[in-house]
Amino acid sequence: GNSVTQMEGPVTLSEEAFLTINCTYTATGYPSLFWYVQYPGEGLQLLLKATKADDKGSNKGFEATYRKETTSFHLEKGSVQVSDSAVYFCPRGNKLTFGTGTQLKVEL
């Protein structure tokens, strides 16, 4: 079956630092891949998606590339801001289980 493994957090960075949150998957076929973000006190919202291999999803300065050769969909941002502090989720497999996500804290 399909499954996704997400890097555990928490991650603490200084403002303007580079961010990478790892997400790898195992799948039969080529499923769409997603990143969601949850800000404090809110529900999850879609951050970006990629529907096929070599696709790059991007939004709000975040990017992730669907890499078939490494079975990865790592989330990256070149310069994080305090406002990016949130929990990031790479949902898993067919059942869309989200787990605990990766908590990001950005400090001044």
Residues found near another protein in the complex (CB under 8 A) = 31-32, 34, 36, 41-46, 49, 51, 89, 94-101
**Under 8 Å between Cβ of 42 and 86:** no
Considering the complex, what minimum distance in angstroms separates the CB of residue 91 from another protein? 8
Cα 76 to Cα 1, 12, 36, distances in angstroms: 27, 14, 13
Closer to another protein by Cβ: residue 15 or 38: 38
By the 8 A CB rule, do 41 and 87 touch?
A: no
Using alpha carbons, select from 79, 78, 107, 104 the residue that is nearest to residue 90: 104
Give the three-state DSSP class for 82: helix
Q: How far is the CB of 18 from another protein (least distance, A)?
A: 26
Residue 35 CB, nearest approach to another protein (Å): 10
By beta-carbon proximity to another protein, the closer residue of 36 and 73 is: 36
Task: Using the minimum distance from each CB to another protein, give the nearer residue, 26 or 32.
Answer: 32
